[in-house]
Amino acid sequence: MGVWLIYALLSAATAALVAIFGKIGLKDIDANSATAIRAVIMALFLLGVVVVQGKFSQLGEIVAQKKAMSFIVLSGVSGALSWLFYFLALKGGKVSQVAPIDKLSVVLAVVLAFFFLGEKISWINALGVAMIAGGAVLVALK
């Protein structure tokens, strides 16, 4: 098992907690304001990780790389929009329906990676992606 798989499983587990904690925390408050507070907490936490790892000086080197920064900014804006929409969906919907629909991002990411990054996908992988899409739709149905 590759280290990437361990990180991916940890990502899935902590993302599940985001949905649960977010749904509980959103009761009687504005979803966009809650998302903003969450973003500040994330930024401070991640800066702390960079400091503890002794990599704070690398931030300037990354900022100096215009192409990398352009795509990091686009990724950041996309992530912020994703979380704004996610928290708005959680505010009005059930976690058991919102979370699976949110995971359609997996399907979209694979399709975009195929077209824009030239990543290959086998028939068995395509079947898995189709099953993810179908499962998300089935879970979202009432």
Domain segments of the chain as ranges: 1-92, 94-141
pTM: 0.82
Phi, psi angle pair for 31, to nearest 5°? -65, -40
- Under-50 pLDDT residues of the chain: none
Q: What is the pLDDT of residue 139?
A: 86
Q: What is the pLDDT of residue 21?
A: 92
Q: Residue 133: CB partners within 8 Å, gap ≥ 6?
A: 104, 107
**Distance in angstroms (rounded) separating the CA atoms of residues 36 and 41:** 9
**Collapsed DSSP state (helix, strand, coil) of residue 104:** helix
Is there a contact between 134 and 107 (Cβ–Cβ < 8 Å)? no
Q: What is the pLDDT of residue 8?
A: 87
**Distance in angstroms (rounded) separating the CA atoms of residues 48 and 23:** 26
